[in-house]
Structure 1
Amino acid sequence: MATSLAVLEVERKFIYSSDVEDMLQTLGATLQGRLLFRDTYYDTVDLHLTLNDHWLRDRQGSWELKLPFSLHGGDKSSNPVTQYQELTREKEIIAAVGEVLGCTPLSEGMEALVAELRLQAFASYVTDRKSYEVPREGLHVDLDEADFGFAVGEVEKVVSTAEEVPEALERINHFCSQLGVTSVKKVPGKMTTYLHQYRPEHYQKLKEAHVL
């Protein structure tokens, strides 16, 4: 029986060169659009959410909670591909936040939840994103430039069952190989880089907890 999930995001980040868009088009990718947006991330004063690898984000009024999912466990710091379950329905987010914090929130909306649990913003930045689709592979590619001077690419496939993950991993890694991404080392994302630059104590705690 298939193991159903809300949404499971399987992704691999990469550092891209100036010719990446030409390479993407050669591989059958088509530009879907360009978007400028601000992400703001929240946590408790004692960082209980992020230390448990739960990432609560407000993208200009649209909320999302990313929480870890792994079929095989192990040290994810050395794995170039990451797997996260994404929650976008506010009721599910509130329930999941309450579960990891060991409480039952009374709030019915995200702004009220932030106030009730006294959550604080620990990161906020603007991203300039170009998005591509690769129809024949069923993949999505984002090229991001953050306003703090960091650029990173991401190849992603969204699946709905755990059984689909191995094929998603294979497709992502094969496409990255075609794109010239051969390193097996994990590439830091925007959040990791932001924390390293602007919140070094938070970054260090996450490293010690083996979250980063």
Structure 2
Amino acid sequence: MSVSPSPFPEVTMNVEVERKFVCDPDIQKKLKDIGAVCIGQRQFQDQYFDTADFDLTLKDFWLRSREGCWELKCPVPKKTTNIQKDTKAEGLCSRYREITSLPQIKAELIKVMTERLAQANENTENDTGMAVCDPWEDWLKGMSLGCFAKYTTERCSFSLEEEGEEGAVCIDLDQADFGYCVGEIEILVPDGVDIQAALQRIERTVDKLGLSGDQRVQGKMDVFLQRYSPDHYTKLLAAHIL
């Protein structure tokens, strides 16, 4: 007897460990001086989606479409074990589990939004006698998801190899079309793997670049919402998401 394949083939997911920094005028020279190699420049537009009540972002889930490619960033516990350096590294770095398979994104959203989908289904049945459309069909509308942020970024990317380390440290210099510039130091770690080594590599990169400051640097989304959607921004601050 044949066995039907799973509708969700297993996909290896990564955790993005990232620290943002303020770009100074000499940052590209500093990157080249420490051996980082420019691997390209590109422009892209991001669109972020949520419900009118911010059911996703208030739980720290970020649904994004970038030039037609979907990604869902999911929160992972902030606390890690066996951190050999001080905990400043943890406090200044973000970490999200990344899902890029659209069927798995939809499945994760259904789990996160179970209550809202049930309520939408009940309301539709009361109004029309018919259930709401299956969220697998016209899924954004079925989940009451709309775009709350859209902006374009000019990105210059660098790669830094370290002797004795597997994989490169990625450094991106981003200029958003609303006038904000920020740098990002990023390492991808397989989901379930201790992130201690990634935190330490990021801190070494920070030290090599001579970056100062022990305060969290705002990302593009923080600044965008602060400027253009202050109510949403205030709610995220109150929920300790931003």
- Scaled by the length of structure 1, the TM-score of the pair is 0.90
Deviation at 1:48, TM superposition (A): 0.4
Q: Which residue of 1 aligns with 2:144?
A: 118
Deviation at 1:131, TM superposition (A): 0.5
Q: Pairwise mapping of residues 9-158 of structure 1 onto structure 2 (< 5 A)?
A: 9-70=16-77, 72=79, 79-102=91-114, 103=117, 106-108=134-136, 112-136=138-162, 138-158=168-188
Residues 5, 85 of structure 1: 8 Å contact kept: no
Q: Distance in 2 between matches of 1:200 and 1:92?
A: 31
Cα separation, partners in 2 of 1:55 and 1:161, compared to 1, 3 Å: closer
Larger radius of gyration: 2
Deviation per CA, 1:72-128, whole angstroms, max 9, x where unpaired? Answer: 17xx9x91101111100001100111111114893447xx21121121110000000
Q: Distance in 1 between matches of 2:200 and 2:51?
A: 37
User: Which deviates more, 131-140 or 189-198?
Assistant: 131-140
Once superposed, what is the RMSD of the aligned Cα atoms?
A: 2.0
Deviation per CA, 1:18-66, whole angstroms, max 9, x where unpaired? Answer: 1100100111100010010100000011110000000000111000000
Deviation per CA, 1:106-163, whole angstroms, max 9, x where unpaired? Answer: 3447xx2112112111000000000110022620000000000000000000010433
> Unaligned regions of 5+ residues in structure 1, if any?
none
- How many residues align? The count is 204
Deviation at 1:71, TM superposition (A): 5.1
More strand by share: 1
Q: Secondary structure at the match of 2:57?
A: helix
Q: Which residue of 1 aligns with 2:3?
A: none
Percent identity between the aligned chains?
Answer: 38
> Unaligned regions of 5+ residues in structure 2, if any?
1-10, 81-87, 119-132
